[in-house]
Structure formats: C-alpha cells, structure tokens
Chains A and B, each alone.
Chain A
C-alpha cells in the first residue's frame, strides 16, 4: 500500500518545545486524525510536512516525493486548510479564485463554482463578511478545486458548532470516496475522528504516543474503574491518568496489562477522548 504521507524521525527544537522523532505513515485513500492537546506538536508537524518550517532532522515524503526536493510538484497535488483564513479580507469570493487559480495546473473553475454553490457561498461576498464556518468552506473549496490528492487540515473544526463540524465531516467523506484521495486531519476535538478517521496518530508533548488504525487504538487500551480497595500497588503502577475519589478510582491501562483483572474492577473500551485525557494527565495523577 503506497503512502500519502510518510514521516520518519522528524525533529524540530524551539526554545520552549521540541518535536521528538515523530514517525508515522498515512496510506493512500484513507483519513488520518492527528490528535493531541493544544501545544502537543500537531501544527508543527503539519508545517514541517509542508516545508513551511525548517526541520532539524528527519525525512518527509508526500505522495511518494521528498517534501523539500519536490516541493513544487507536491504542492500541485495537495490542498491545505488551516484554522485561520489566509486570504485578503477585502477579496470577494470570486477574487480568491482569480488570485490563486493560476498557480495550479489542474485548477477547475467549474469545480470551484460547484463547491461555492453546494456550500452556499455567495460569490460576491467579501472574505471578511463570511462567518467562521463559511471561511472554512471557502478554504475547502480552494483546496478541492485543483484535483488535490491529499488534503491537509489543521484544526479546521476548532470554534465551530457541532452542525457545521458534522457538515465538514460529510464533505471530507465524500471527497475521499473515489479511493484515490487521502486526508490528514489535525484536531483536538476527538469526537470528529470517531466518526470518520481510519487511522490515528496521537501526539503528546512532541512525541508520538500511538500511530495505527483507530480500531487498534481503542482495542489497545481499557478504561478501568473500581472501588477504593480494588486499587492494588501493581495496578496503580500500570494506570495512566489515575483519578481517585471517595467512592473509588478510574484510569487507563494498556489492554495487554489487564489479562486477569481483579474481581471488582470494571474494564471497558475507551473513547479517543478518554485516551487523550488520560495520557495527558499521566504525569500528574489526580488523587
């Protein structure tokens, strides 16, 4: 299976943050969610992949090509959406097309017009007059009007209401339906990914905590709950994000470490949110 994105040992150091040896691969034709709390390194990873930041070490291949050597070819084949719009606010929706279409050899005015219509974007409106949801749709229309084989979305749903988020997920599902297109989707709203992601890469403090299929992620961990007496020392050491109160405890544990759970303990499949919250809290268990 060929990869839409392949990242190996990616490193980048800032004064107060380091991205450490990030490695993951997104197979073509699938949606990958890049998950992590704010400041975990999602945006840095995306900007490094787009060669908008200079990396310290590592390698990035996009659609089989080197992201620096073949940057121009790659950028013909990718569409990008960020959480903040990057068009001149005084441009009208039609001006956006005039400004960018020349850069793409496979730009289709018909496709762009089709997206404007289906997204309900008024062609004569100025960018600054659009709502946040409409701005997102405008970026999506641009990203999808030049036959991009890979869409990269960085926190596109932050600050959007659930209806607008659901609409976006529908658009993305439709976009990849031909099997040849892929989506790399960074978010901290994990419920979006429960619905559409095939693969998950979970980044915590600049390090990849997990990368693989969404199903494997959920199968790999268990949320355990029990009464105060069920929490043995051995169990305590294995739990991530342990929370204790007067009636008992809860925490996340690797499924492999829970072969023979003590009698009073309840173990259930975690949500991605559960995993994200517990691994974020593991350095400071709440007791």
Chain B
C-alpha cells in the first residue's frame, strides 16, 4: 500500500513540476494543431500534431528537474527509486491519454468548422497511430533521460526516432505502401485490431521502456 501511495505522490509531484509550463504547451501546441487542422481542412491532422507536440513536451519534466536541482529534492524525500520511475511513466501515460481525448474532441470541432464529417474508423486509426507514436517517443527517450540526463543528451535520445523517420520515408518513397493495401483492408474489416495495435502496442512499449529505465537509472550521483 505504501508503494502505491508513493507512486501517486510521485505522479502528483510531476504534475506540480510541469504545471507552470502547461499554459505555454496548450497555447502554442494546440494553437498549432488547430491551425494546421483548419488549413489542411483535415481534422485528423489536429490529432497527429497534438500528439507529436505532447510527446515532445512530456520529456520536459526532466529538463525542469535538472534546471532546478530536483535531484536533491528526490534525495531528501521519502521516495524509492522504482516509485519515482513508475510515477513518471504513469503520469506521462495519463498525460498522453488526456491529450488523446482533448485532440479527438478538437478534431470533432474542426470537422464542424470545415464541414468535413469525421469517419469513425479513420479517426480511430489516427488516434491509435498518434498514441502509438507518443508511446514510442517517450518509450525511447525516457530511459536515456533517466540514465544520462536531459540537457546533454536531448539530441542523442532522439537519434532512434530520426532513424525511424528516415526508414519510414524511404519505405514510402519506394512505393511500398501499395504492398500494405491488403493489411489496410484486413484492418478495416477488423477495427478492433487497430485499437489493440495502437493502444495495446503503446502500453507494451511503455512497459518495456519502464523496465529498461528501472534497470539503468542511476539514482546515485557519480
């Protein structure tokens, strides 16, 4: 029970750490997502942009911690290392899910403004893909930030994502998307698999990342 309670306290602390930056995040991140959704006349764009910005923002808790000497605060609080890590992952997951809800509501509003109706299956696919991206991003960068810190490793932490972007771009350029036609048709017939792949896959990624962070996080100072 004590551990559960400490994990919740750790999540609350993370909320307080990021609280001051929320105004900026919602003002700039969502403004960009809304504007692009309207300009492209494609409400799904809002979902994608909002989740991409959310993913980038989620790592900023490490930056604020570093800049404000919070390693010392964690050192004096009655909080164990695994509780701190689990708290951060759960807080980030809640943040991601919250943004899934907000961005899908915004997508509904933008579809009303642009007069282009939302297709539930398409919206599901975009939400799942966006959530999967969010989990992939945080899943890759969190273990790096826990182990090596944010400031000096921000670019390094993103290297796997750059590689992924490059590979995906190459894949699309070579026209391999045509080969996916069968897969897309299969998923259209089995929409539950989209949800399972997006949200189940995302959660699985976060679980693996959490385990990695627990193994590698150096709580002690060098």
Partner of B16, one of A54, A82, A89, A98: A98
The reply on B79 being an interface residue by CB < 8 A is yes
A71 to B72, CA, bound (A): 15
Q: Of A72-80, A170-178, A242-250, which stretch is located at the interface?
A: A72-80
Measured as residues with beta carbon below 8 angstroms from the partner, the interface class of chain A is: 20 to 34
Residues of B within 8 A of A90 (CB): 20
- CB distance A50 to B76 under 8 Å? yes
- CB distance A86 to B16 under 8 Å? no
- CB distance B221 to A72 under 8 Å? no
Residues of A within 8 A of B220 (CB): 52-54
The reply on A286 being an interface residue by CB < 8 A is no
A89 to B70, CA, bound (A): 11
- CB distance B75 to A100 under 8 Å? no
- CB distance A88 to B78 under 8 Å? no
- CB distance B72 to A86 under 8 Å? yes
- CB distance A72 to B20 under 8 Å? no
- CB distance B221 to A88 under 8 Å? no
Given contacts A52-B220, A53-B220, A98-B16, contact A75 B68 (CB under 8 A): no
- CB distance A103 to B79 under 8 Å? yes
Contact with A along B69-84 (1 / 0, CB 8 A): 1111101111110000
- CB distance B70 to A84 under 8 Å? no
B1-25 residues with Cβ-Cβ distance < 8 A to A are: 2, 6, 9, 12-13, 16-17, 19-20
- CB distance A91 to B20 under 8 Å? yes
- CB distance B79 to A85 under 8 Å? no
The reply on A162 being an interface residue by CB < 8 A is no
Residues of B within 8 A of A50 (CB): 75-76
Contact with B along A28-53 (1 / 0, CB 8 A): 00000000000000000001001111
- CB distance B78 to A86 under 8 Å? no
The reply on A147 being an interface residue by CB < 8 A is no
- CB distance A88 to B72 under 8 Å? no
Given contacts A99-B13, A100-B77, contact A86 B20 (CB under 8 A): no
- CB distance B73 to A86 under 8 Å? yes
The reply on B64 being an interface residue by CB < 8 A is yes
Chain B interfacial positions (CB closer than 8 Å to A): 2, 6, 9, 12-13, 16-17, 19-20, 64, 67-73, 75-80, 220-221
* A-B CB proximity, top 9 nearest: A52-B75, A75-B78, A86-B72, A90-B20, A99-B16, A80-B76, A86-B73, A54-B220, A86-B69
Q: Could you list 15 A-B pairs, sorted by A, with CB under 8 Å? A: A50-B75, A50-B76, A52-B221, A84-B69, A86-B68, A86-B71, A86-B73, A86-B76, A87-B68, A88-B70, A99-B16, A100-B77, A102-B9, A102-B13, A103-B6
